[in-house]
Amino acid sequence: MNKSRADAPLRGVLGSWALPPKAILFAIVLVAVAATVLGACAALIGPYTATSGYLTILFLLSIVRGQSWRARGISVAWSFAVAMLGFALGGLGMPSVLAALVVVSLVQGMTRLGETAMLTRSPVNLLAFASLSESGAQLWQVLLGSAIGAGVVLGLAALSKQREADHGAVTSARERLAYGIATAVGAVVIVWGSEALGFGYAGWALLSFCILLSASADQRVTRGSLRILGSVGGALLAVGIAMFPAPVPMLAALVSLVLCVAYINTGNYGLFMLFLTPAILLTTASEVSLARLGVFRLEATLVATGLALFGAMSIEFALRRWAAGGRGAGSREPGVGAGSGEPGAGSRRRESEREA
């Protein structure tokens, strides 16, 4: 009884800690297969191939239980396009990468997530493959690693239960365009600002920003708060684990990875973030201390949350202005506006993006 009362506040904030056996089994299989394949790639082919495979798996992870094989196929093709674009432009300098970020963000914004599954990570992978290009990787290594990563995800998808098709509200072209522009502006601000300030973890901030901005309006503030709480709690957990001798930190990182996959698969975003943070921090090679890495992680999350909330407000403002302009034009020219336009576009929400 006392233990239940003591756990109640944390359970109320982060949700239930209980996990169904199927979710745990799925997470274990996923992590074990990915670790085995990527480990073999690193040992037999090289680290660049393994890194490319890892990035592709992260990009495509959400299509494992996607709605259709068509959506999965389009997502795989897009992941290759993003990888090749980032790799090709990585050596051309920051202006080229920023221009590509704008293009990729606009494409991501204009593509409904229910039609092409979960492209939220597109700007992050573009930046990662651009960095991979500068590190000395060869094109064949990137292509092979991407193919291996896609193969792992599609293999798991074939063994997983497919989600039911989403027949929710259609997202208007104006909403998609506004979302794409907001994503592009935020991505450029994060990458350019990180470069100017010498912050070496722009990818963390960029991923948080893209995920939070893609969430529906009623989830955005909640997810931002959970992301901050999870980052703080996860960083403290990682610092404590790092005090133990090897191989305890690496084993703890694997357990954390399994748990974060299991919790996100069951829809528990708070506990997903709590275990994702130590999984990342304990496996990140860096010259700075783990505590300092945790501070960087929190800084990236705070900046990303602020930018995502500002971007969301900008989207809503732009949509209201567009809707008001459309009503004004319709009242001035009733013969033209009566049957044209997009009725109810301003009231539609990105219901298909709730899973992001």
Distance of CA 341 to the CA centre of its chain: 33
User: pLDDT by residue for the chain (356 residues), tens digit each?
Assistant: 444 444 444 445 556 777 888 888 888 988 888 889 999 999 999 999 999 998 898 888 777 766 678 878 888 999 999 999 999 998 888 889 899 999 998 887 776 544 444 567 888 899 989 989 888 889 999 999 999 999 998 888 887 766 555 444 556 777 778 888 888 899 999 999 998 888 888 888 888 888 777 766 666 667 667 777 777 777 778 878 877 887 888 888 888 888 888 887 777 777 887 888 788 777 776 677 777 878 888 888 888 888 888 888 888 888 888 777 766 555 544 443 433 333 333 333 343 333 33
Q: Which of 107, 135, 162 is the last residue of a domain?
A: 162
List Cβ neighbours of 68 (8 Å cut-off, separation of 6 or more).
162, 165
3-state secondary structure of 135: coil
Burial class (CB in 10 A: 0-12, 13-18, 19+), 219: middle
10 in a domain, yes or no?
A: no
Q: Do residue 98 and residue 205 come from a single domain?
A: no
Residues 260/26, Cβ–Cβ less than 8 Å: no
Same domain, yes or no: 127 and 268: no
Rounded-to-integer distance, Cα 282 and Cα 15, Å: 24
Question: How many Å apart are CA 248 and CA 129, to the nearest integer?
Answer: 31
Indicate whether this model's pTM tops 0.85: no
102 & 188 share domain? no
In a domain, 95, yes or no: yes
In this structure, the answer to whether residues 324 and 207 fall within a common structural domain is yes
What are 284's two structure tokens?
């990140």
- Residue 277 belongs to domain spanning: 171-328+343-356
Q: Is residue 291 packed enough to be buried (19+ CB in 10 Å), middle (13-18) or exposed (0-12)?
A: middle
Residue type present at position 110: M
- Give yes or no: residues 311 and 182 share one domain: yes
CA distance 124 to 264: 19
Burial of residue 283 (number of CB atoms within 10 Å: 0-12, 13-18, 19+): middle
Of 96, 130, 162, the last residue of a domain is 162
> Has residue 336 been placed in a domain?
no
2: in domain: no
Rounded to 5 degrees, what are φ and ψ at 166?
Answer: -95, 115
- 159's tokens: 């063994």
Contacts of 303 (CB under 8 A, 6+ apart): 190, 205
Of the candidates 162, 190, 217, which is a domain's last residue?
A: 162
